[in-house]
Structures are given as C-alpha cells and as structure tokens.
A and B are shown apart, each in its own frame.
Chain A
C-alpha cells in the first residue's frame, strides 16, 4: 500500500490564487523531499526538510515539516502559469524511500 499519502490529487486555481498540497505518513519520517514535474517532463528536486517544525521558503513557495515529522505541506502564494505541474513529496517511513501520489496543479490564466 501507499506509504506516503498526498492530497489533493488535482487542484485547479485561477492565476494569482494560492495553492497548498499536503503530504502525510502514518509513521515518522527522517526527512522529506519535494519534487516538481512539469507536464511531459521528469521530477526535479525542489527542497529537503529535516528538522521537526522546519519551514523553508523559495520565493513564492513555502515548505513546512510537521512537529511530529509525519506530515508536510507546500504552499504557493499567488500562483503563476509557470507553476503548472505535479508536485510530489517523498520520504522514508522505513528503510525505503517512497513518493507520494502527487498533486497535479492547473493554473487558469
């Protein structure tokens, strides 16, 4: 079964609106990574979070790691058409590294 769950599966937003995707694990994660995959492309690493409660920002993107290290979120402020793609979280609840199911973001101009 899926070790790392991600919601929502799809999200459509108007350009300029905010967007958030959530990643959850039933077990503690040693760290969590986020990747972006453009349509027709391959996943590209965005960031890694390691510490409990950690928050990191990359321009309009804010990444959070939960206090219990079982969940994480990615928030995009004021989406742009260049944000289109699928966002994946990835973590290791055990000794294997699992990707979440991904959230596909569509930005309507």
Chain B
C-alpha cells in the first residue's frame, strides 16, 4: 500500500518552461489537494478536488492548473514557470473534502525555477 505517490521528487526548471507534477493515491479517497510550502508560510492550498470530476481554487492558484484525471490521479501543471514558484509541492488526499478527515501527504516535489 503506497499511499500517496508524487513524481518527480526533484526538478529544476528554467523560467518560462512548463511541467506537470503527477500525484496518485491508492486509498480510494474522494478528495485530493495540492499545497506549496515556503519557509515561514506554512502549507498553502493551491487547488483541490473535492470529488472526482470537480476542481476548485485554493489560496494561491495563480500560475497553476490542475486536472483530476480519475479518482486516483490529480496533476498540477505550471504552464510558464517563474522563480516565485520555487517551492516544495505536496499532494495530499483524504476520504472527504475539508475538515473532518485525516489528510495523507505524498513525499513532496522540490522544485527550483532559475
């Protein structure tokens, strides 16, 4: 049982390049999330998918797009990377949306934009 799997673990991009971060969960969870973590800022929600077929903006959605490909997979796309998007990105999943159920996190993707 792998839980939440993110790929890649590390990535360096040049400004303006695009990339997609992949996330998959094997716990049959309905809800999935993408967070970014920056020093002193905690975890900030970028986008979430409360259930398969739906996606919504979180606190910091600008510069990102997401796709809930199926119940297992939720990807995050940076269309034109900027240095301000240098961060650690975490995917998470939970049985249902929002509070009330434990969130399980992936190992994180450390992204550097130069």
Contact = CB atoms under 8 A, between A and B. Distances in A.
Q: Do chains A and B interact in one complex?
A: yes
Interface of A: 2, 6, 9, 29-31, 33, 35, 41-45, 48, 88, 90-92, 95-102
A96 B105 contact: no
A48 B94 CA distance: 14
Contacts of A2: 42
A31 B99 contact: yes
Given A42-B106, A43-B90, A96 B98 contact: yes
- Counting chain B residues whose Cβ lies within 8 A of the other chain, the interface size class is 20 to 34
A45 B98 CA distance: 14
B102 A48 contact: yes
Most buried by A among B58, B98, B104: B98
A33 B43 contact: no
Given A88-B42, A101-B42, A42 B99 contact: no
A92 B43 contact: no
A86 B44 CA distance: 15
B51 to A, nearest CB: 14
A14 to B, nearest CB: 24
Interface in B22-67: 35, 40-45, 58-59
B24 to A, nearest CB: 15
